[in-house]
Amino acid sequence: LVLKKESFIVEEVKIIKKYKYTPKTKEELQALVKDESIYLGDIDTSEITDMSYLFTGSTRTNFSGIEKWNTGKVKTMRSMFECNKFFNEDIGAWDVGDVRDMAWMFLNCPNFNQNISEWDVKKVETMSGMFWNCESFNQNIRKWNIKKVWDMSYMFKYCKLFNQDLSSWNTKRIRTYNMFSRCPIDDSNKPKYI
């Protein structure tokens, strides 16, 4: 039995996604997302640094494609989905490693309940009111690195279902005023300094 060695040349092929829309500013991006006929996956968000208030009060019902957004340069997501009763997309793969501000991000998003446990939040400084009135939210986020966070006040206020184990979180130097107000979390699941 003789085996013949053959050489294979494998070429690296880079697939470059062509986007229909390439906004350079938050204002340009806001104008695009207000148009419900635009598929969110057709928007190149790689240059956007500010996504604050992007969908606040939006009546958009279809968020398909948002999971593909490049959020690697974003510094603030403050109130990004505030008062958006339809939002519940899987954004767990987003790169949030440069985000500093997540305050009020999902405020009054009653249907949001997606797995965001793998988010790298090590640079986030404020999570105040982040899930306030997220009636459906009950995801395990105990592995989050919260060392830079200084404000978690109202973070889970009115989260009617949230009862995850956050007992490993060190909140000694964090403002936690009303962090779990009207939230059914067991005392054993709360951070030790609450």
Q: What is the DSSP string of the chain?
A: --PPP--------PPPPPPSB---SHHHHHHHHH-TTS-GGGB--TT--B-TTTTTT------TTGGG---TT--B-TTTTTT-TT-----TT---TT--B-TTTTTT-TT-----TT---TT--B-TTTTTT-TT-----TT---TT--B-TTTTTT-SS-----TT---TTSB-TTTTTT----GGGS-TT-
pLDDT at residue 18, as a whole number: 83
Q: Look up the domain containing 158 and give its range.
A: 39-194
12 has pLDDT over 90 = no
Count of the separate structural domains present in the chain: 1
In a domain? residue 101: yes
In a domain? residue 11: no
75 has pLDDT over 90 = yes
In a domain? residue 162: yes
Q: Could you tell me which residue, 91 or 192, shows the higher pLDDT?
A: 91
pLDDT at residue 35, as a whole number: 97
Average pLDDT of the chain is 94
In a domain? residue 1: no
In a domain? residue 17: no
Q: How confident is the model at residue 194 (pLDDT cuts 50, 70, 90)?
A: confident
In a domain? residue 119: yes
pLDDT at residue 9, as a whole number: 60
In a domain? residue 25: no
Q: Could you tell me which residue, 125 or 194, shows the higher pLDDT?
A: 125
2 has pLDDT over 60 = no
